[in-house]
Each structure stands twice: as C-alpha cells, then as structure tokens.
Chains A and B, each alone.
Chain A
C-alpha cells in the first residue's frame, strides 16, 4: 500500500513540478520522495521508475490520442523507429529511468546517512 501511495506521490509531485520547472525536476522529486520515505533500494528504484514513468505516459497518451498520432508518427520517423507506439515507449523509458535513478540514489544515501544500523 505504502509502495503504491509513494508511486502516486512521485507521479503527482513530478507532474506539478514540471509546470514550473525544467524536465529534470522529475529526478529531484523522485530523489526527495525516496529520501523522505525510506525503502529498500530496489523498491525505491521501482517507485521512481513507475512514478515518473506513469506521469510521462499519462501526459504522452493524452497528447497522442487527441492528436490522432500525427506528431508521434513523425517523431518516430525522426528517430528511425518503426511506429508511433515505440516512440511513446522510448519517451516513457527515458523519464522513468531518470526518476528511478533519482530515487535509487536517495535510498542508498539515506541508508548510508541513517543513525540506526
């Protein structure tokens, strides 16, 4: 439950952050949330990965569906990808990876700096 909630927290906060801040603020959000909520490194990575990934996926799909895939179709061609679906996958993966890395780093730092053993 806590895991799901933390994903939702990353999703919501990173979405909000991007309204005013540059794209890489998603890494900072994932980092911050993981620092706040202690969890095992693998779980932290999954949280950041899923949180940011889902946020990017949601926004991307909203744009893509209302646009009838016009833009994704062209962008897929720019990146020599066979179809627009793969362009969505690549996009979401980049965001998710950055989010996951941010959270993973934070969980390890937190463990390294924590007072208990």
Chain B
C-alpha cells in the first residue's frame, strides 16, 4: 500500500471512528446514547451496587448544624437521630435524595405538567391537563401559606437544603440509572416541588368527577329511575362514624338552595368528559384495648394506591428533641405521613367527600376576555403556561381563571371525548392549605387533644384519620376542609354565572364527623359513606361500601384480638359481593350450562367466596360477574358518553331484589354471561399456562397484580405477583393498584409494630434493596419494625450501618 493511499484510508478511518463515537454519544429516537450508557466506568455499570455495600461512613456536609447519626437496619430503613429540628428535615431530604432522587424528580414533574420536557411530545396531553387543572397554581398557593408559618417554613427549607446538599455531591457516575437511560439530569430542588408533590397526592385522591356525567344522566331518565340507579347515599352503608353517634348542633345553618333551573345547566350527549376511575381505596381500623388480647389498642392501615416501583413510600424513623416518629414518608416531602410516635399512632383512608366542582362559564359574546357573573361582565385573569417539549419548540397555553377557578375545558382544550362547553373547576386543593404543618404537629402529638389540634390543618385531600394512643384512646375523624353546601350543590355541573352557586361558608373543622372511644370498641373506615343521615351538613361523594361491610362484620365479632388477627384481616379476600350474588346467579343457571361445565359449577357451589391467589373459582366468578354487570347495563348506558354506570353495590342491591326474578331477562343474562365467562376462562388457561405451570386459570394469573416501574420498562417491573384479593375485598390487590403500605401497630407499654410495602428502600434497579419487600408483601408477610428510643447511642443489634453527617466548618 502506498503512502498516499495509507493516508487517504487513514483519514477516512479517522472520520469513521469519529462518526461512530458521535453516533454512540447521542440518543437516537427513544434509545439512549449507547456509548455513554454502556461505558463500564461512568455508564449504567456504575449503578451496580455491590450486594455487600457498606452504607456506613462519616461525611462533612455543609448545611448540617450539629452531628447527625443515621442508623440503617438490615432492611436499609434509616433511623435518623438529629439534635435539632432543622437537621432532622435536612437529613431526611439528604437520605430521600440518596435513594429516590429520580422518582422525586419525575413525580414532581408529573405534578407540575413538566414531563414532556424529558420524554417528549407523547406526554404533552398529560402535561396540558395538569396545567389546566391549575396544579402549579395550587402548589404556589400552598407554598405561600407554608412559608408564612415558622414550623412549616423550617420543614420545607431544611428538607430542600438537604436534597440539594446531596445533589452537590452527586457525580455523573453516581447519577440514578434512569437519568442515564433517559438522558437528562436532575435540577436543584425547591420548596415548590414539595408543595407540588402534596398537590399531586391531593389530586390523585380527590379527582373523582361524576358531576359532569350526573348532569347528563339526570336529564336522560325519569327522576324516579335516576334516584333508583344513582341514589345520593347508600342507605345500607355501615358508615365511618357509627350509626347512632350524636353529632353536635351545627354552628352554621344550611344555605338556601337556588331554584333548580338557575343552579344547573343541561348537557346533551355531545358535551362529554372523563371516564370514571374507581377502585382507589384504603382501609384503616383500630380495635380498643378492651377487645384485644394484650389490653392495648391495635391500629391498622393499608392505603391502596398505584403499585409502582420505586414505591410511593419510603420507610423512615425521625428523631429530634421533642420528636420520635416512625412510619411511611413520601420521597419529595418532609415528615412522616402515616405511622406512630412514642405516644400516638394514626392511619388514613381517603374520605371521598366531594371537594371538586365544575361550573359552566358563559363567556361574553364577542369578548373572549370577559365572562358573565351575577349580571356583570367580569374579566378573566390569565396564566400563561409554557410547556417545554424535548426536541420541539415550547407549547404555550393561556389558561383563563374565573372566580370559581381555572377554565379546564374550552375550545382550545377539549377532553378526549370532545367536550364542547367552557367549564371551570373549583377545587379545595387550589386553596393555600398547609398540610405540611399538620404533618409537623401530628408527628409530635402527645395525646388525643394535641393530635386533634394538629389535624385541623389537614384540609385537602380529606382523609378518614384513625387514631390510637398509649393511654388507650381510640378515635376516627372524617377530616378535611368542607364547604357548607345547599342540598345538591356541586353534585351536578353548576351555572357559573349565578352567584348562588358559589362556594361560600366553610364548615368549622371541629364540626367534622368524628367519634372518640365508641361503645362498639372499634373504629374503622374503608372509603364508605362517612355518616348516617343524622349528620347535620349536606354532602355528597363517591363512596365505596363493600370492604367496610366485611371489616365491620369481622371486627364486630372479635373479642381478644391479636396482632396476628389484624394481619389476617388485612389479608382477607372474602368477597361479600360473591356471597350475595353467586348463589342467586347459580340458581338461574340452566341445565345445559351446568352440565357442560359441571366440575366448575360444582366447585362454585362449594366455594368459600375467598378470592385467594390459587382459586380457580375466583377467576370464574369474577369474570362471570363482570360480564353480567356489563351485559345488564350495556344496552341502557352504552350510548352515554361518559359511561357512568350504577355502582357495583347498587347493582348488587337491585339484582337481589325479588322483583328481578319476575323479569325473565335476568336468568337469560345470567346464562349468557356464564357462557361468555367460561370462554374467557378457557382462553386464559391456554394463554397463561406454560409447560412449567398449569396456573393459567388461577386467580392471581387472571388478574395479574403488577408492580410497574415509573418508566413502564418491563425489565424493572414485576408482574403476576402471587397475591389474592380484588377491589371489593379487604386485601384490595388489583392489577396496578393495591395495599401500598400495610401497617399494624399495638400501642402498649412497649409499642409493637409491623409493616410492609410492595417495593424496597432503594430506588436503584441495580440494588438488592430495589424490590426487597415485594415477595414478602405478596405472600402476606410483615417486617417487624425497630422503633428505637430517642437517644444518641443505640445498642440495638438490628443496626447494620452507621452514617455520621457532620457540619462542615
């Protein structure tokens, strides 16, 4: 080869090498930059945490005031011992960020509608919806209130500094794996982000919007039929506050309702919005000491939320002078949300009273800057929402704000079903509420009175707060900030131009439904109706009854309750729905169906109504019932744009009535849906069964409870977890939803506590702590919690690592 040709080939090869490096150094489409990712020194390999990683150490951290000890136990739960409150929240932020930074970043991005910035255009509809809902507006309002109070200000700022203190030490190499895969970097934390996270939870828990569908349905059928199918309250409810509880005389009179025609607009089928999402629910209960084996009250809680990885929850113990609290914290927010301290314990379920209403806005004809209110032309205020989109120019959406709240839908932002009307949303979460302060004081509560004072700042999302203390008190509060409404206010979309529809007086929070040490010896809630009809204030909501029937039935019969009994009740898969419906369904089955499927029909007749993981009867029943429910209402409601169908509970009640037997249609539907269900079951058996297993038809395979990574990457997710239950059983493990934190605390002389959650303490998919509790959770196991005394040295053998954080001079 001559010199010239060598040179030429050399130049070409050099260019090719540069080209190769260039290609490997940049993302292509959804693929990450392969060179950067695969590089063992700085890429994904650096996230391969050694299985015997030592988390001990001594670090000098600017911002720490006095030495802080972090003791990690064998499950990597940190026990933080600080000498002052600021350090406690600083180190909580530091530790949250060490193990969950990417998740915190993504969840607050989701809250603020900033996902497109890192994943591109596909998240734009989601981001726009978040902005339209006024999520950032809401968080800004709460931040203002939070910073105005010295305690919540301290929490927010110390926590923020702690996260940023960790980020200052973060090298490219140590960056969470997901950043490397998605090709972006974390930005500094701000107190607004913590406020956003709490609004994200509030939105998740108060997002039900039956108002629009009900507005249509009440026009679409005769009034008596509407009342039959969509009763305002379930009269068979076993309410949160036991029946017969005497409520105090209300301080406010019921406001005068405007005339129906003035208050509510009318919708045609073309005007429609969101599909109902149900199944979010939770359980909590406390059994009083006179009904437990130990004589001490036992408090239990399992909030049902999305089963994601990294888990929504992070287990933690926080100590500072005057505080020693243990429980579930939310990465992204300071304090402990559900748990116990050395005096009291508490657990929460969603309260579901309606705190989100829609208003039809009448824009002034020919003037898009004004709308009608109380006979006047009023200016909209506007908020310009600039949404950054990865690889594309920013998208700008100008959102109009009314006296009620932001205009959610208009001609520039239609719901996916094409809603044509201008609707503003009025949400309690938009207000500058300060739940952070409530958490601050709940974490330090020393007894019933201080706990009750603490929860007076817990305004939204409304929660049923179960309480137990070491003095033996048990209580439950239907807590939240509510509006003194006239009957039916906000049940339907309201006319936003009439001042009578405005949210006016707030109900004093001390008048919220509550009960202390009730005679029946236990308190409980499972998202059911909050009170019986004797509660003086009017309210509506999307309540779910099924689980509460079962819980109250079991607790009502219990005498010497043990911790094991309580764990067993959290695992309970008994379906009241099946108990009530299946015998009736079986009785209508014709000979043809029963003979061709005689084995399963015989098994169903003997079935114990438990939706156990291994049960094949559960699969058949559940699919059969779903088909029956579908067939029963389809003809009537399929044309309804919003698809709000009568609730499962209501359907059950209607189908049980004797009148149904007069209708031949019922047994026809029962048989048709059985045939359809068996087709599905046989198909399932075929698809799910492999050479290794014939589990295909078993309930856990059919329902597929999964814990899915936030990126949805199957490689970081787990599916077909072997767990029983469904939305209508106490153990409400559904597909992607379920008990997100199970806790049982006995408030005796020595506090004895157990908990588990479907995830692990580390958010790093390369860590052995990533999903370390998942199988225990699925199998119904618990971890014993090491609740350490508030002391500077700890002899507890469960402590495996000690991390010391020192102030940097």
Residues of A within 8 A of B (CB): 15, 18-19, 22-24, 27, 31, 56, 59-60, 63-64, 66-68, 70-72, 74-78, 90-91, 94-95, 97-98, 101-102, 104-114, 117
**Chain A residues near B40 (CB, 8 Å)?**
56, 59-60, 63, 91, 95
Interface range on chain B (Cβ under 8 Å from partner): 35 or more
CB distance from A89 to the nearest CB of B (A): 11
Q: Is there contact, CB below 8 Å, between A59 and B45?
A: yes
Give the interface centre of A31, A60, A98, A112 by most chain B CB atoms within 10 Å. Answer: A112
**Chain A residues near B715 (CB, 8 Å)?**
74-78
Q: Is there contact, CB below 8 Å, between A70 and B35?
A: no
A114 nearest CB neighbor, chain B only: B3
**Chain A residues near B39 (CB, 8 Å)?**
18, 23, 56, 95
Which stretch in B9-17, B211-219, B454-462, B652-660 binds the other chain?
A: B9-17
Q: Is there contact, CB below 8 Å, between A78 and B38?
A: no
In the complex, the number of residue pairs spanning A and B with C-beta atoms less than 8 Å apart equals 136
Q: Is there contact, CB below 8 Å, between A111 and B35?
A: no
B22 nearest CB neighbor, chain A only: A24
A73 nearest CB neighbor, chain B only: B715
Q: Is there contact, CB below 8 Å, between A67 and B42?
A: no
Give the interface centre of B11, B48, B49 by most chain A CB atoms within 10 Å. Answer: B48
CB distance from A73 to the nearest CB of B (A): 8
Which stretch in B224-232, B463-471, B553-561, B764-772 binds the other chain?
A: B764-772
A64 vs B46: C-alpha distance in the bound complex, in angstroms?
10
Q: Is there contact, CB below 8 Å, between B24 and A68?
A: no
Instruction: Return the contact of B13 from the options A67, A76, A101 (Cβ within 8 A).
Output: A101
**Chain A residues near B716 (CB, 8 Å)?**
74
> Does B664 interact with chain A (Cβ within 8 Å)?
no
Q: Is there contact, CB below 8 Å, between B7 and A109?
A: yes
Q: Is there contact, CB below 8 Å, between B9 and A66?
A: no
**Chain B residues near A23 (CB, 8 Å)?**
25, 35-36, 39, 41-43
**Chain B residues near A66 (CB, 8 Å)?**
48, 50-52
CB distance from A66 to the nearest CB of B (A): 4
A22 vs B24: C-alpha distance in the bound complex, in angstroms?
12
**Chain A residues near B481 (CB, 8 Å)?**
none
Q: A71-B44, A72-B48 are in contact. Are A98 and B38 (CB under 8 A)?
A: no
Per-residue contact bits, chain B 752-784, to A (CB 8 Å; 1 contact, 0 not): 000000000000011110100000000000000
**Chain A residues near B5 (CB, 8 Å)?**
112
Per-residue contact bits, chain B 15-40, to A (CB 8 Å; 1 contact, 0 not): 01100110011000000001110111
Q: Is there contact, CB below 8 Å, between B766 and A71?
A: yes
A56 vs B41: C-alpha distance in the bound complex, in angstroms?
8
> Does B257 interact with chain A (Cβ within 8 Å)?
no
Q: Is there contact, CB below 8 Å, between B35 and A112?
A: no
Instruction: Give 10 nearest A-B pairs by CB, closest first.
Output: A112-B7, A108-B10, A77-B715, A71-B766, A109-B10, A23-B39, A67-B48, A59-B40, A66-B50, A71-B48
A62 vs B152: C-alpha distance in the bound complex, in angstroms?
46
Q: Is there contact, CB below 8 Å, between A105 and B45?
A: no
CB distance from B39 to the nearest CB of A (A): 4
Residues of B within 8 A of A (CB): 1, 3-11, 13-14, 16-17, 20-21, 24-25, 34-36, 38-52, 177, 181, 713-716, 765-768, 770
A78 vs B34: C-alpha distance in the bound complex, in angstroms?
12
**Chain A residues near B51 (CB, 8 Å)?**
66-68, 70
Q: A67-B48, A68-B51 are in contact. Are A94 and B34 (CB under 8 A)?
A: yes
A102 vs B13: C-alpha distance in the bound complex, in angstroms?
8
**Chain B residues near A104 (CB, 8 Å)?**
13, 17
**Chain B residues near A111 (CB, 8 Å)?**
1, 3, 6-7, 10
CB distance from B590 to the nearest CB of A (A): 48
A27 vs B16: C-alpha distance in the bound complex, in angstroms?
12
**Chain A residues near B41 (CB, 8 Å)?**
15, 18-19, 23, 59
A10 vs B275: C-alpha distance in the bound complex, in angstroms?
61
Q: Is there contact, CB below 8 Å, between A108 and B9?
A: yes
**Chain B residues near A63 (CB, 8 Å)?**
40, 45-46, 48
**Chain A residues near B43 (CB, 8 Å)?**
23
Q: A70-B767, A111-B3 are in contact. Are A77 and B714 (CB under 8 A)?
A: yes
Instruction: Return the contact of B14 from the options A15, A68, A105 (Cβ within 8 A).
Output: A105
**Chain B residues near A105 (CB, 8 Å)?**
10, 13-14, 16-17
A90 vs B39: C-alpha distance in the bound complex, in angstroms?
11
Q: Is there contact, CB below 8 Å, between A98 and B20?
A: yes
A78 vs B178: C-alpha distance in the bound complex, in angstroms?
12
**Chain A residues near B1 (CB, 8 Å)?**
111
**Chain A residues near B10 (CB, 8 Å)?**
105-112
Instruction: Return the contact of B45 from the options A19, A60, A98 (Cβ within 8 A).
Output: A60
Ordered by A's residue number, 9 sampled pairs between the chains whose C-beta atoms are within 8 Å are A18-B41, A19-B41, A56-B39, A67-B49, A67-B766, A91-B45, A97-B20, A112-B4, A112-B6
Q: Is there contact, CB below 8 Å, between B8 and A27?
A: no
A1 vs B47: C-alpha distance in the bound complex, in angstroms?
37
A74 vs B21: C-alpha distance in the bound complex, in angstroms?
25
B19 nearest CB neighbor, chain A only: A101
Q: Is there contact, CB below 8 Å, between A109 and B47?
A: no
A39 vs B808: C-alpha distance in the bound complex, in angstroms?
54
Instruction: Return the contact of A91 from the options B38, B46, B767 (Cβ within 8 A).
Output: B38
Given contacts A66-B52, A101-B13, 12 further A-B contacts (CB under 8 A): A59-B41, A59-B45, A63-B46, A63-B48, A66-B48, A67-B48, A72-B48, A91-B38, A97-B20, A98-B24, A109-B6, A112-B8
**Chain B residues near A114 (CB, 8 Å)?**
3
Q: Is there contact, CB below 8 Å, between A24 and B35?
A: yes
Instruction: Return the contact of A70 from the options B3, B21, B48 (Cβ within 8 A).
Output: B48
**Chain A residues near B21 (CB, 8 Å)?**
24, 27, 98
A111 vs B25: C-alpha distance in the bound complex, in angstroms?
29
**Chain B residues near A95 (CB, 8 Å)?**
38-40
A45 vs B83: C-alpha distance in the bound complex, in angstroms?
61
B45 nearest CB neighbor, chain A only: A63
A94 nearest CB neighbor, chain B only: B38
Q: A71-B45, A117-B3 are in contact. Are A101 and B16 (CB under 8 A)?
A: yes
**Chain B residues near A27 (CB, 8 Å)?**
17, 21
Instruction: Return the contact of A22 from the options B6, B36, B46, B713 (Cβ within 8 A).
Output: B36
